[in-house]
Chains A and B, each alone.
Chain A
């Protein structure tokens, strides 16, 4: 077998078939076609010792990682699924749709080389929907595609003046914040500056690889892992931590790549979620009152990091702010999963509990760290959620 199956393959034999993962899987709950994490990852995964044989219901795993979090024995269920999916595409062709969904980083880069490219792209994606082109290639027309911001974060960054400081971090914006939601990056700079920390960026960072992993482009994802891990190590040697505000990016860079490729060079202890990092510093508590009630949807990929709820801990320092957890499971979008035409309904069904929770709440704001979660919440409830960094930046603004 492929040497990629080393490492977490060993965890297959930690599976005692207890079914905790099946009870926790949101896709199984919403969809009869999926045979479930236990049967696909450890059980079917074992068969790969002897033959190349694939269960097509593997395509229904959304990589939300609820199975991993339910497992009492530390089986890397979802990553075993991702490995098998990668293996499948060694001998099967990718669809045009999968190629598009996996390569959002290069699409963004191309758009930025054309004058008014972001407008053309936003216009193109809505025309594509009207003309039925997206549906024809398998991307749902029932939800909006992410809107490209007028200027991306990396461009905006150049115009921001920061006080020089000995305390520095490197901000890893990731594709979504960079191209679609640069305000979150700006908020991060405000928060860090308010704490006397200078924010750097590294132009040589690439996409974390999550969209490629979940669509089975393993070789490309490995190249990104090589590049990004080398950059992270380089910053580590300068004692500068790398901080991400997208919980999928931080999860992937911390541990996912190392697990999937069985390569310890990709395990990075110099990567932090933004609020996880803020917990490690002596926080500036000169915070203005924010008399609001916030409903907090905790992203799956934050839960998987096993670091608790650092955003809630930090934000609870803001006077008069009340935070309530939505506690309503997975949002259902899971990166590009919910953009697939045949999975749109499943994605919305998974999100139903969260939508109902939000729709019946009288909270002033909804917040979540994860870009796709925020898009799904907006699509399912018409409420526009915030990133917790935007709320914290607001509390630092007045002085």
Chain B
């Protein structure tokens, strides 16, 4: 293979988005992406949370205000507010262009109904998931699907009633697959609703339920591609419909994955599948090449590391206090004091989650003293260290913002 301009390691949200930004801004660049596994998008709601809670776990009304108050060594501060804002704009434009428009902004949180009927929030959500219209509804109907065991309408009704005590909330079950031969997934139903017949079948069963100011809540069944299925169903019912998050596999995350892959395909960027990068050749703080598990070598001027953390093997930790980054053997931040490694409250920041790689303002890896380790590598996404992105509700935002910057600042 001829030498590449940029080789991206990781086919998840961060890796795919960085390729998209890089190729859009620098069309002449020759890029390849190595992916091992499908990434976490098929399991994700596809919402982009930028920052939902501060260090004490307090809910933030404005992600941007929260980001501004973060300490200077936080990856968001390294990326910079301006790049974060541009990343949001780029993402919104991209998603709208590919017919999966996202609602929201950095200055407020958009509410989302969870699969249990509680409310979470994110800066950006697919328009079908935006739960803000719920407050105007008089009657809320939670739609279950016969045979689907991953969605519990009664639980949703009970929990939503606590949030909206004044509203009339009820559930109804509709049919899609008669005599299922296995438990149908929400994804199976979403694939049925990729077709016009499926959307019609959905609307026909609910038409009689529509009264004035009725709103429907459904699992994420409106197709696996784009937002058109949801729009068509809303038109047929002349009512608002809001999709919840769901147990995986998650059609909303799959929709986002699909437009990312389709847009890269259109730009001529290949995702090299089943390719595990295992080592690298480094000379004078520059990576010359990386090697796959099958022994193939890829040379490039620049590398973007978007390999994720523990789940995807971006960081390995066979013993609790000795994490290892297998490809470049980068120094890793690890919570030093043992009694901080975990927190008894599951939803509070967990020390072990802070494990990751520290970066400078150009996303290049540094060690604990701030010394630059590699000149031509950018670190993006979940593998970044020092903070618990899950507890603070910033996983996808970190991925989008760091991926944007890595694509934008190409050298």
Contacts and interface: CB of A to CB of B under 8 A. Distances in A.
Contacts of A35: 182
A35 B249 CA distance: 14
Contacts of A340: none
A307 to B, nearest CB: 6
A306 B43 contact: no
B274 A22 contact: no
22 contacts: A19-B249, A20-B42, A20-B248, A22-B249, A23-B38, A23-B249, A23-B254, A29-B191, A33-B181, A69-B37, A72-B40, A72-B308, A72-B312, A74-B37, A74-B276, A306-B293, A308-B270, A309-B270, A313-B1, A325-B265, A325-B270, A327-B261
Nearest to B180: A32
Given A312-B270, A325-B270, 14 more contacts: A18-B248, A20-B248, A36-B182, A69-B274, A72-B36, A72-B37, A72-B38, A73-B313, A303-B273, A306-B272, A306-B274, A306-B293, A307-B275, A308-B272
A30 to B, nearest CB: 10
Contacts of B42: 19-20, 23-24, 70
A87 to B, nearest CB: 21
A20 B182 contact: no
Rank and list the top 4 A-B pairs by shortest CB-CB distance, nearest first.
A72-B37, A23-B249, A70-B38, A306-B274
Nearest to B311: A72
Given A307-B296, A325-B270, A279 B38 contact: no
Contacts of A68: 274
Interface residues of A, number: 36
A63 to B, nearest CB: 15
A22 B292 contact: no
Contacts of B32: 308
Interface in B161-200: 177, 180-182, 184-185, 187-188, 191
Interface in A150-200: none
B371 interface: no
A22 B185 contact: yes
Contacts of B275: 306-308
A269 interface: yes
Contacts, number: 101
Contacts of B71: none
B39 interface: yes
A356 to B, nearest CB: 14
Contacts of B182: 32-36, 57
Interface of B: 1-2, 32, 36-40, 42-43, 177, 180-182, 184-185, 187-188, 191, 248-249, 254, 261, 265, 270, 272-276, 292-296, 308, 311-313
A71 B37 contact: yes
Contact of B37 (A73, A305, A308): A73
Interface in A287-310: 303-310
Interface string A21-62: 011100001001111100000000000000000000100000
Interface in A90-129: none
Contacts of A73: 37, 311, 313
Interface string A255-270: 0000000000000010
B164 to A, nearest CB: 31
Nearest to A33: B181
Interface of A: 16, 18-20, 22-24, 29, 32-36, 57, 68-74, 269, 276, 279, 303-310, 312-313, 325, 327
Contacts of A306: 36, 272-276, 292-294
Contacts of A325: 265, 270
A70 B35 CA distance: 9
A310 B272 CA distance: 10
A32 B181 contact: yes
B2 A313 contact: yes
A20 B275 CA distance: 16
A23 B1 contact: no
A22 B187 contact: yes
B20 to A, nearest CB: 16
Contacts of A18: 40, 43, 248
A76 to B, nearest CB: 12
Given A34-B182, A70-B38, A71-B37, A23 B294 contact: no
A327 B260 CA distance: 13
Contacts of A308: 1, 32, 270, 272, 275, 296
Contacts of A20: 37-38, 42-43, 248-249
Nearest to B37: A72
Given A32-B180, A72-B37, A279-B1, A303 B249 contact: no
Given A23-B249, A325-B265, A307 B292 contact: yes
- Residue among A57, A68, A70, A279 with the highest chain B CB neighbour number at 10 A: A70
A316 to B, nearest CB: 9
B292 A19 contact: no
Contact of A19 (B1, B181, B248, B261): B248
A392 B294 CA distance: 25
A309 B272 contact: yes
Nearest to A323: B268
B37 A19 contact: no
A171 B238 CA distance: 65
Contacts of A34: 182
A57 B187 CA distance: 19
Contacts of B293: 306
Contacts of A57: 182
A343 to B, nearest CB: 15
A246 B254 CA distance: 32
A29 B254 CA distance: 14
Contacts of A24: 38, 42
